[in-house]
Chains A and B, each alone.
Chain A
């Protein structure tokens, strides 16, 4: 087996999920200049809802086709997350849109804690096992092994990200979103319903987050009420690395962060002659982030400094 190829594949799988979650951060930031810290919890809720639906379906009709099952579960999770995002924006962020920048940020952290605790009350403190409804098949790829679920993660993430880029760059809705992010006032004067566009942005981000949650839960076979926190933090880091506010940057940042973490954890011991071990993998990832920000304060693909930043 080729160790390096395996580490690259590990990194790509990890990075695809980061990228998918990072898109949620970066879309909202691009339009509102708000870092929606509750996005990680939306991902967790998506995973939890899908798990609940799959468990219920398994109990009701164990012979159901796994694809039908996962489609129903995903639809339910996406629906719940989209509604959650809609109400979150409507009730928590919209009233604060004209408030000083710190107020919505603190609100976002508050919502994150609130959602975590609600999930803890509903689903308990224990780590929950996610049933494997697809058989685990291992494929050989460039001398490395990749499971069908991991392959699925990379493919689905790729399709969703490409789809989002197409929507943003080639549809009327996308044009309205880009206009709103340029200037809400001018976009409003041009006949764009700014409130609706902001709502839709939140909802698209949440739908992507829900899918990411399902993919993570499916890949690791565990779900927990705190699973969104660290994932959200990493995805936020990825968004900053790629240039927050830039969609392509979020994708690039996510994939890069996944690769850096994976290769860092795998080779940091060998690179430093055993002086630093894999306990420094997070340090390694953040050092890369800092170095990038020193030379490119707007991130790799961030071109303009937003007026609000």
Chain B
């Protein structure tokens, strides 16, 4: 049914150039389409579906409250597209959404798909709010249509650097990264934050995603006797790395980003993972302004627990609808400036954007492995 309607909408869009302004729902409401993009198939499909559900909850709520914009009662509809976490597919579905004249886009999930698609949205002048793309480049291309509701890797690197030097008191630090866009990017930001905070970088070592033996670089690091080792990379390497660190008798603290703040890390590192620190953007769900309420609502509707970023997708959608309300228009050109000036209290916290479209005061939470599970320590940033 939805697909049929969608198809009819796309066809009419092709025929009449613009259906969102013309189409009316059954009960005489004006239909406004909002796009959503995330990986709905493939290994990350559970996360993509999670985002879609978050956005759907926001849309349903807006429809229930009967929002009036420009003198008409609005019915929002979510056009959800699958980018398979593939940058090429991401641009194809972005074009498709532009053809369907959506008023705004929630997505994409991955930085890798978000960045190439953002140019298409920028060219069309359609605002795009990503719930979860954290790579710095996304908002640093000069596109005033690009927004995100999660702290970026620069903020994460800064918090990690400050935490290492100020909280953990590390004077000398060794950095390892896996040469991936994520790992290297985070390690670079961490390095500059450490230097700013007055810490010294003893060495930067490198590995890659196919390796499981790190003894050579760890021995070099051991010889330098740093207070802390930082790893920019994913859990599959960090787990075995932790064991090798302990086997070599290195006693330095170990710190990582959201790539290792996973259940998989605690499983792979076992007893040797005890005491490891890692960060993750945003607050833990229990600490979010509307976290527990949102969790219950989600569970009630979908009979499943939240995977990861659903609250951010919910907020990304809500903040967009809020800007339309304040602008009293669903025209991207009219409501876009008001999105920039948003000050919205969402489920994840207060949402305001800086001049680039990054979340102002985005929060980063730190966790530590205690008795084999990640325990929340504290949150940096976020609060005013």
- Residues of chain A touching chain B, judged by Cβ–Cβ distance below 8 Å, are 1, 3, 6-7, 10-11, 13-14, 125-127, 129, 132, 136, 138, 145, 147, 150, 216, 220-222, 224, 226-227, 229-230, 261-267, 269, 277-279, 281
B17 on interface, CB distance cutoff 8 Å: no
In the complex, residue of chain B having the shortest beta-carbon distance to the beta carbon of A17: B213
Total number of residue pairs linking A and B with CB closer than 8 Å: 92
B236 with A277: CB separation less than 8 A: no
Which of A132, A229, A263, A281 has most chain B Cβ within 10 Å? Answer: A281
**Other than the known A221-B240, A277-B206, what 10 A-B pairs have Cβ atoms closer than 8 Å?**
A1-B223, A127-B236, A127-B268, A129-B239, A216-B212, A221-B243, A230-B211, A262-B215, A266-B219, A269-B203
A145 with B249: CB separation less than 8 A: yes
A127 with B264: CB separation less than 8 A: yes
A3 with B204: CB separation less than 8 A: no
Listed by A's residue number, 7 A-B pairs whose Cβ atoms lie within 8 Å are A13-B215, A14-B213, A220-B240, A266-B216, A266-B217, A278-B206, A279-B206
CA distance in complex: A3, B225 (Å): 11
CA distance in complex: A13, B222 (Å): 18
CA distance in complex: A269, B244 (Å): 21
CA distance in complex: A269, B236 (Å): 26
In the complex, residue of chain A having the shortest beta-carbon distance to the beta carbon of B212: A220
CA distance in complex: A129, B93 (Å): 38
CA distance in complex: A265, B207 (Å): 10
Query: Are A10 and B215 also in contact (CB < 8 A) when A127-B239, A132-B270 are?
Result: yes
CA distance in complex: A117, B323 (Å): 49
B204 with A261: CB separation less than 8 A: no
In the complex, residue of chain B having the shortest beta-carbon distance to the beta carbon of A7: B219
Which of A216, A220, A224 has most chain B Cβ within 10 Å? Answer: A220
Q: In the assembled complex, which residues on chain A have CB atoms less than 8 Å from the CB atom of B211?
A: 230
A266 with B240: CB separation less than 8 A: no
CB distance from A162 to the nearest CB of B (A): 24
Query: Are A222 and B236 also in contact (CB < 8 A) when A6-B248, A138-B249, A279-B179 are?
Result: yes
B205 on interface, CB distance cutoff 8 Å: yes
CB distance from B81 to the nearest CB of A (A): 25
In the complex, residue of chain B having the shortest beta-carbon distance to the beta carbon of A227: B212
B267 with A129: CB separation less than 8 A: yes
CA distance in complex: A216, B211 (Å): 12
In the complex, residue of chain A having the shortest beta-carbon distance to the beta carbon of B247: A147
A266 with B220: CB separation less than 8 A: yes
B383 on interface, CB distance cutoff 8 Å: no
CB distance from B30 to the nearest CB of A (A): 45
CA distance in complex: A224, B211 (Å): 12
Q: In the assembled complex, which residues on chain A have CB atoms less than 8 Å from the CB atom of B222?
A: 1, 3, 6
B43 on interface, CB distance cutoff 8 Å: yes
B210 on interface, CB distance cutoff 8 Å: yes
B303-325 interface (Cβ within 8 A of A): none
Which of B204, B215, B246 has most chain A Cβ within 10 Å? Answer: B215
CA distance in complex: A286, B203 (Å): 24
CA distance in complex: A150, B264 (Å): 25
CB distance from B187 to the nearest CB of A (A): 12
Partner of B217, one of A125, A127, A278: A278
Sort A-B residue pairs by CB-CB distance and give the 3 closest, nearest first. Answer: A265-B216, A279-B206, A10-B215
Q: In the assembled complex, which residues on chain B have CB atoms less than 8 Å from the CB atom of A127?
A: 235-236, 239, 264, 268
